[in-house]
Structure 1
Amino acid sequence: MASIIPPVTKLSSRIIRILGCNPGRMTLQGTNTYVIGTGKRRILIDAGDSDVPQYIQNLKTVVSDENIDLEHIIVTHWHHDHIGGVKDVVKNVSNCNVWKLPRSEQDNSDEPLPDNIQVKYLKPGDEFKTEGATLRIVHTPGHTTDHIILWLEEEKAIFSGDCILGEGTAVFEDLHDYMASLQNILKLNPNILYPGHGPVVSDPMPKIEYYIHHRNNREKQILDVLQREPNRKFTEMDIVKIIYTDTPEDLHLAAAVNVGHHLQKLLKDKKVISTGTKWQWITNPSSSL
């Protein structure tokens, strides 16, 4: 049974979690946003979704009760449930600086922010210091091209955004990049992990290792399906229905996207061939569909 996340939780002397009040299949109980620091001027990591009055009220209450100001908002990535609430925070809570990593040149999707919000762009390795906290930006592409995690020096902790969740596993745009990012997080050897969704991960190394093993296991499952019927051409959804037997049907489309990313990686590895819509195991490397 999933643990219940309260609307506001003081997680440590320097971290207050405010739940985004935007529950859903992909957001779990909602987006976790975090107020960081011990002094007057603090940093907000992520801002939830747009037009969620309860979240803004909860954040205003924290700012008032703690007698603080928000100096910066750092967005882990461009998805609406992390960046959408920025405009409401800036308008109703604090007119603070907004930071995020730029997206890749190949990614032409628009940022879901109004024109009057001026975004300052991060670079990997950038540091933010406020009283009681030092945050370092680590680029972790895969979930999105612009995804970052934040390393909190004082706790040897990671704010993992959507790279690693408190419950379940994450979706991604590029599996090759995502696996490299997971390996980089593993090397950081964090003591604790504060995810973008779900509860705090107090023993993160087994969770990170599980994510890596899970993706490797999925790849093996996909190859097994293709190898069992080498003459059959499979769609992503055909494969989902065979290997995602414990996943609710309303999540099968998301699972099919993940399967597609696995198949793209296997295509690069020259282990499968494709017609563009269907996939087949390569029984002979020189063969083609």
Structure 2
Amino acid sequence: MLRERVSEDIYVFTSEVYAQVTAGIIATPDGAIVVDTLPFPGESRQVAAFAAHVSPGGARYVVLTHYHADHAYGAYLFPKADLVAHQRARRLLAEVGAPALKAAQAEAPELEEVRLRLPDITFEGGDMGLQLGGKVVRLIHAPGHTDDMVMVYAEDAHVLFASDTLMPVPSVVDGDVDALRASLRFIDELQVENLVEGHGEVILRGEVSEVVQASIKYLDCIETRVAKVVEAGKGREPLRKITVEQCGLSRIPLGGLVQQIHMANLFALYNRMLAAQGRAA
């Protein structure tokens, strides 16, 4: 696991085990606010240990940005912390996350000890504030990647944990393109010094708007190109010829996972467009 300090009291952790997924710590004199956990217990334990090292009493809050396994599985390793998420995350963890964990444990013995934890504190609507040790953190509902997605904005440091709202390539398989566009545009309204992607790198202030716009253009591109394939009526096979580079992004990040996400986006949009026309995929 890699650790990076992005401001005086804010740290980012990047998994070396799975898809460069990120987590974070906002350290205060009264405890730490942890943003997401990592999917495998070994790395999440390191995050918990570091929280105890930099803040008296360790983690006071753990914010889950959304219900997906790679961000939520380590929550049980913070038993003394209040778990915070959007209200929709609680439902999705119970209805979707629990059976998915059972299936994952059958395939990956290292997940055997994982216990799914449901949020203690939830909110509905646009946002919620957390105050701890003189620091103010804003939780912003940002649907698009998933319906329950939350971004975490450390107001004093102007650091945004965008989670999977911003990735090397947007992912809408479990989400909604229009909602994601709106959430991406909202990022441009914030004053951001450092932006932490849900997978990948920390983006600096001068690059944030460019990266946001590239993601929006990618969404526009795949929507247009998939619509043309649907209109042509020749089945799904032409989708395989639409490359991520044609839509303005690189396939290199995340060890090749970008291309897999891109293809999944194309097929998901194709199925939705057919369904909207009352046609079978």
- TM-score bin (small chain): 0.7 to 0.9
Q: Following TM superposition, by how much is the alpha carbon of 1:68 offset from its aligned partner in structure 2, in angstroms?
A: 4.8
State the 1:253 CA deviation: 5.7
User: In the alignment, residue 177 of structure 1 is paired with which amino acid?
Assistant: A
Paired residue type of 1:85: G
Question: 1:32: how far off?
Answer: 1.4
Q: Aligned equivalents of 1:193 and 1:265: distance in 2?
A: 31
Structure 2 match to 1:258: 265
Q: Output aligned runs, 1:232-271, within 5 Å.
A: 232-235=233-236, 238-244=237-243, 254-263=261-270
Matches within 5 A, 1:265-284: 273=277, 275-277=279-281
Secondary structure of residue in 2 paired with 1:44? strand
Deviations 1:206-240 (A, max 9, x none): 1111111111122233344456xx3x3322xx233
Show the 5 A alignment for 1:20-31: 20-23=15-18, 27=19, 29=20, 31=21
Cα shift at 1:189: 4.7
- For 1:274 and 1:244, locate their aligned partners in 2 and report how far apart those are by CA, in whole Å: 27
Report the secondary structure of 1:233's partner residue.
Answer: coil
The 10-residue stretch of structure 1 (106-115 or 56-65) with the greater mean CA deviation from structure 2: 106-115
Match in the other structure for 2:122: 121
Instruction: For residue 69 of structure 1, report the CA deviation from its aligned partner.
Output: 1.8
Instruction: Go from structure 1 to structure 2 and tell me whether the alpha carbon gap of 1:64 and 1:155 turns closer, same or farther (over 3 Å shift).
Output: closer
- The answer to whether the 8 Å contact 1:186/1:209 transfers is no
Q: What is the TM-score when the length of structure 1 is the normalising length?
A: 0.74
Letter of the 1:158 counterpart: L
One-letter code aligned to 2:84 = W
1:21-100 aligned at under 5 Å gives the runs 21-23=16-18, 27=19, 29=20, 31-50=21-40, 52-57=41-46, 59-64=48-53, 67-90=56-79, 95-100=80-85
Give the letter for the 1:69 counterpart.
G
Instruction: Report if aligned partners of 2:129, 2:136 keep a CA contact under 8 Å in 1.
Output: yes
What is the CA deviation profile of residues 165-220 of structure 1, one whole-angstrom value per residue up to 9, with x for unaligned ones? Answer: 2xx21212211221221122223353321122211100211111111111112223
Residue 40 of structure 1: CA displacement? Answer: 3.5
Give the AA of the match of 1:214. Answer: Y
Residue 121 and residue 220 in structure 1: after superposition, are their counterparts in 2 closer, same or farther (change >3 A)?
Answer: same
User: Can you list the C-alpha shifts for 1:51-94, whole angstroms capped at 9, x where unaligned?
Assistant: x224413531452365552100000000011110011232xxxx
1:169 aligns with 2:159: no
Q: Secondary structure at the match of 1:103?
A: helix
Paired residues, number: 252
Match in the other structure for 1:17: 12
Q: Hey, what does 1:7 align to over in structure 2?
A: 2
Tell me the CA shift for residue 122 of structure 1.
2.5
Gaps spanning 5+ residues in structure 2: where? 102-113, 246-250
Change in 2 beyond 3 A, CA 1:12/1:190: closer
Q: Partner of 2:269: helix, strand, or coil?
A: helix
Q: Which residue of 2 aligns with 1:282?
A: none
Aligned to 2:199: 197
Aligned partners of 2:263 and 2:97: how far apart in 1?
A: 24
SS in structure 2 at match of 1:134 = strand
Q: Residues 217 and 143 of structure 1: is their aligned pair in 2 closer, same or farther, counting only changes over 3 Å?
A: same
Contact 1:18 1:55 in 2 (8 A): no
- SS for the counterpart of 2:182 is helix
1:129-148 deviations in Å (ceiling 9; x for gaps): 12252111111111111101
Q: Please state which structure has a larger fraction of its residues in helix.
A: 2
Matches within 5 A, 1:175-190: 175-190=177-192
Identity of aligned residues (%): 17
Q: What is the rounded CA distance, in whole Å, between the counterparts of 1:62 and 1:245 in structure 2?
A: 38
Task: For structure 1, list consecutive stretches of 5 or more residues without a partner in the other structure.
Answer: 1-5, 278-289
